[in-house]
């Protein structure tokens, strides 16, 4: 199956893409390619639940219900300007009657973009003032994350409306380890350095370097704890910030999944893994069998060590730290659950 770059002119001929603003069409161009499928092959089969929006550009598609021909769809005709059988699960199969060219778009991403376009009361450009052309796609970057696909559309609207822009110079301290948490941040221009002070290293250990579209500050807001790291501007830049109460209501709550111990053990039996985000000393005192230990303050640095196809049950002693870790994982596309109530010594003893 071959693929070639799609252009905006083509997207503008399709419904409802023709109603999207230019910046979202530009984002779709980067995420979409024209593909081909040979005669006799299926684009999807009856019962398919994959979240893809498909448009037939050329060739003929047979729509089959229980192997019975319902009708054909021909690329270039008026009907093909609309998505091909968008309802899930698919009520029919789509088989190529001839060689076919088509495009396939992530349905969740498209839905978020359409919702934002149709409900936004201001232009995106108003939030992008003074941003360089190559650094002005922070909003689109957020909208494309799997985390935002799970947030109710009304919440997405409110999140962007309530964000405030703050500008910083290179070397500015954005937040300091030990301070109270007050805001969640998104980088819209520039770069930031995340460091953590330890008893043996007062200068701070480098944890991460963040760029446009990256977020930080959620841990203290979720766990109601003090900041566990310091963030400093590496260059001149701009940040959008969301206040603590708005963050918890609009962004945090929709992202978190919870599981009691019985549910969690069943998920682990089905292939999930325990992820313990307590300190190593706490972990050594007691922990669940086969649990992975990554302290909360290291979770961003160790993301590459986790399997994106594995479900994780995140645990700590109360649920606060595990909530913060699960948010970070969910925000980056992992399937993560928080153990309700936290972990106790008795939980580490296998039931009879």
CATH number at residue 96: 2.60.120.10
Q: How far apart are CA 128 and CA 135, in angstroms?
A: 9
Q: What is the pLDDT of residues 132-181, one digit of tens each?
A: 333 446 777 777 666 677 787 778 878 888 888 899 999 999 999 999 98
Which of 252, 283, 298 is where one domain is finished? Answer: 252
Q: What pLDDT shows up at residue 132?
A: 39
Number of domains in the chain: 3
Q: Please determine, for residue 218, whether its predicted confidence score (pLDDT) is greater than 80.
A: yes
**What residues does 239 pair with on adjacent strands?**
166, 187
| DSSP string for residues in 134-156 | GG--HHHHHHHSHHHHTS-HHHH
113 within some domain: no
69 within some domain: yes
Same domain, 203 and 290: no
Contact 299, 216 (CB under 8 A): no
Q: How far apart are CA 192 and CA 215, in angstroms?
A: 10
Same domain, 76 and 48: yes
Same domain, 131 and 243: yes
Same domain, 170 and 242: yes
71 within some domain: yes
Q: Residue range 189-214: average pLDDT?
A: 85
Q: What is the pLDDT of residues 223-244, one digit of tens each?
A: 787 888 899 999 999 999 999 9
More confident residue, 267 or 21: 267
210 within some domain: yes
Same domain, 52 and 83: yes
17 within some domain: yes
pTM here is 0.59
| Closest to 60 in 3D by CA, of 98, 22, 13 | 98
Which of 235, 252, 269 is where one domain is finished? Answer: 252
pLDDT category, 190, cuts 50, 70, 90? very high
Same domain, 124 and 210: yes
115 within some domain: no
Same domain, 64 and 136: no
Which of 232, 252, 272 is where one domain is finished? Answer: 252
182 within some domain: yes
Q: Tell me the pLDDT of the chain averaged across its residues.
A: 85
Same domain, 77 and 158: no
Contact 237, 168 (CB under 8 A): yes
| Closest to 14 in 3D by CA, of 74, 60, 73, 79 | 79
Q: Which residues contact 184 (CB under 8 A, 6 or more apart)?
A: 215, 216, 217, 218, 221, 241, 242, 244, 247, 251
Q: What is the pLDDT of residues 122-133, one digit of tens each?
A: 333 333 333 333
| Alpha-carbon torsion (218, 219, 225, 228), positive or negative | negative
Question: Domain holding 273: CATH number?
Answer: 3.40.250.10
Same domain, 182 and 245: yes
112 within some domain: no
Q: How far apart are CA 154 and CA 221, in angstroms?
A: 22
Same domain, 25 and 138: no
Same domain, 198 and 153: yes
Contact 75, 100 (CB under 8 A): yes
Same domain, 141 and 263: no
Phi, psi of 7 (to 5 degrees): -125, 165
Q: Please determine, for residue 352, whether its predicted confidence score (pLDDT) is greater than 60.
A: no
| Closest to 317 in 3D by CA, of 291, 286, 352 | 286
Domain that holds residue 283: 256-348
Q: Residue range 242-270: average pLDDT?
A: 91
């Amino acid at each position: 199956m071959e693929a070639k770059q799609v252009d905006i002119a083509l997207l503008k001929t399709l419904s409802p893409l023709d109603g999207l603003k230019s910046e979202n069409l530009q984002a779709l161009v980067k995420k979409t390619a024209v593909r081909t499928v040979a005669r006799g092959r299926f684009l999807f089969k009856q019962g398919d639940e994959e979240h893809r929006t498909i448009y037939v550009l050329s060739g003929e598609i047979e729509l089959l219900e229980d192997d019975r021909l319902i009708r054909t769809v021909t690329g270039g005709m008026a009907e093909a300007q609309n998505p091909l059988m968008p309802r899930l699960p698919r009520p029919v199969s789509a088989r190529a009657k001839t060689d076919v060219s088509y495009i396939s778009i992530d349905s969740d991403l498209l839905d978020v973009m359409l919702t934002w376009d149709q409900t936004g009361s201001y232009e995106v450009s108003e939030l992008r003032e003074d941003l360089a052309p190559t650094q002005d796609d922070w909003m689109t970057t957020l909208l494309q994350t799997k985390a935002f696909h799970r947030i109710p559309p009304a919440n997405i609207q409110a999140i962007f409306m309530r964000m405030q822009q703050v500008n910083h110079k290179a070397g500015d301290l954005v937040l300091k380890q030990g301070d109270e948490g007050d805001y969640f941040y998104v980088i819209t221009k520039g770069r930031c350095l995340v460091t953590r002070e330890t008893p043996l290293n007062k200068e701070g250990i480098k944890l991460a370097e963040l760029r446009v579209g990256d977020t930080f500050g959620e841990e203290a807001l979720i766990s109601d704890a003090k900041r566990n790291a310091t963030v400093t501007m590496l260059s001149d830049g701009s940040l959008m910030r969301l206040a603590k109460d708005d963050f918890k209501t609009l962004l945090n709550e929709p992202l978190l999944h919870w599981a009691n111990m019985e549910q969690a053990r069943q998920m682990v039996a089905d292939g999930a893994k325990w992820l313990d985000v307590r300190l190593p000393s706490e972990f050594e005192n007691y922990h669940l069998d086969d649990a992975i230990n990554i302290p909360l303050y290291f979770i961003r640095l160790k993301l590459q060590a986790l399997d994106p196809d594995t479900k994780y049950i995140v645990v700590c002693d109360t649920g606060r730290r595990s909530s913060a870790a699960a948010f970070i994982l969910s925000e980056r596309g992992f399937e993560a659950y928080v153990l309700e109530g936290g972990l106790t010594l008795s939980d580490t003893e296998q039931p009879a």
